[in-house]
Amino acid sequence: MEREFLTIAKESLNELVDRLMETHQVIAPVPRNDGVVFDVISSPKEMDLEYRGHTLLPPKRFFFPEKEILFVYKVKADGVEIHDKLEELKSLRQVIIGIRPCDITGLLVLDKIFTKMFKDPYYIARRKNTLVIGLTCNEPAEYCFCVFTNSGPLLKEGFDLLLTDLGDRYLVEVGTEKGSNVVRFNPDIFSKAGERDLREREEIIREVAERIKAQKLPDFTSLYDFMRRNFNSKIWEKYGRKCLACGKCNFTCPTCHCFDVFDDPDLSLKSGKRIRVWDSCHFISFTRVASGEIFRRERTSRVKQRIYHKLCYSVDEIGIISCVGCGRCIDVCSAGIDVREVVRELEG
């Protein structure tokens, strides 16, 4: 579809959110514990759309929750009765607002995994029933490097509406028919964007990109052959000794998607739940098989596995890297491991 550009005053955006809340669950960035997290809101006044950088946990948790019940069951005399939680998701209607371009790219990566490579009905139902309203960055945070992963500061796809903060108003780019419908049903609060509005956004995005480019990193989307040549580099032993194998990098990553599934029966063994939870390739138990053998016992192999999956194995599997340059893994790492420095060190 042809792109449409509009503007909306900041007070009018609150009115739009109020209207959306009449029919949808609305998820937005909210201040919490000296940071910002995505959460369900009950009033647009709770939103913080002026936050810098990223939230601690990525918004993927509203599409692929850290813990979810897949189904509950009851054992009866004539068999097993199963109630699939998927039925409840079919009626879900949610809006997520304030999601950064890097996190939108993260959802596009998960789409390739959960809707194409494998078809996960729970993810698909949430994705289908969610309106995505993105928000570009007016300034990068300390660990941002999205320019080098081709995931920001501006996107061409993945959003229904994309906002850019122009001070007293937002420039609104319409990305899909769903986004166009929001505009069509609320004509009183949108105005057609002018050349000045477009130039302002262009300048904001240019400045953000230039500040990120100052890091002078290589193009992460083109590291495949380089990484293959350095698979046996000695630096992996160094980072293996540093890594605490805590899994924080996995749990804060917008694209990590490994999970475990277990049954949780009650004490009578007559009913229970099947539950899916996030898992981490840094955990020593991750590669344990039924015989008890662990295939990545050494932390060196686990550190290497994660970085190679982001920059190489992902290319083999879905055709693109699965690092979006958000910098969360750098921000939360207790051992101070920085994937940017790893790549620089490999370059020698």
Chain CA centroid to CA 222, Å: 22
Closest C-alpha among 203, 59, 221 to residue 139: 203
Q: Note the pTM of the prediction, 2 decimals.
A: 0.94
**Can you tell me the distance from the alpha carbon of 59 to that of 49, in angstroms, rounded to the nearest whole number?**
14
pLDDT digits (tens, 9 = 90+) for 127-171: 999 999 999 999 999 999 999 999 999 999 999 999 999 999 999
Q: 96 with 300: CB under 8 angstroms?
A: no
Which of helix, strand or coil describes residue 255?
A: coil
Torsion-angle region of residue 92: left (phi > 0), alpha (psi -120 to 50) or beta?
A: beta
pLDDT of residue 222: 95
Q: 165 with 200: CB under 8 angstroms?
A: no
pLDDT of residue 50: 94
pLDDT of residue 347: 84
Torsion-angle region of residue 154: left (phi > 0), alpha (psi -120 to 50) or beta?
A: beta
Percent of the chain with pLDDT over 90: 89
pLDDT digits (tens, 9 = 90+) for 277-290: 999 999 998 888 88
Spell out the residues 6+ positions from residue 35 whose beta carbon is closer than 8 angstroms to its own.
Answer: 55, 56
Instruction: Copy the structure tokens of residue 144.
Output: 């941002």
**Can you tell me the distance from the alpha carbon of 176 to that of 179, in angstroms, rounded to the nearest whole number?**
5
φ and ψ at 175, to 5 degrees? -105, -20
pLDDT of residue 200: 97
pLDDT digits (tens, 9 = 90+) for 19-74: 999 999 999 999 998 889 999 999 999 999 999 988 989 999 999 999 999 999 99
Q: Quickly count: other Cβ atoms within 10 Å of residue 176's Cβ.
A: 16
User: Please, is 172 exposed, middle or buried when counting C-beta atoms within 10 Å of its C-beta (0-12, 13-18, 19+)?
Assistant: buried
List beta partners, residue 184.
none
Is residue 1 over pLDDT 80?
no
Q: 131 with 24: CB under 8 angstroms?
A: yes
Instruction: Copy the structure tokens of residue 254.
Output: 């917008």
User: Please, is 94 exposed, middle or buried when counting C-beta atoms within 10 Å of its C-beta (0-12, 13-18, 19+)?
Assistant: middle
Closest C-alpha among 51, 37, 117 to residue 322: 117
Is residue 82 over pLDDT 90?
yes
φ and ψ at 265, to 5 degrees? -80, 155
**Can you tell me the distance from the alpha carbon of 232 to that of 249, in angstroms, rounded to the nearest whole number?**
23
Give Cα separations from 223 to 94, 194, 311 (angstroms).
37, 40, 7
Closest C-alpha among 204, 192, 74 to residue 136: 204
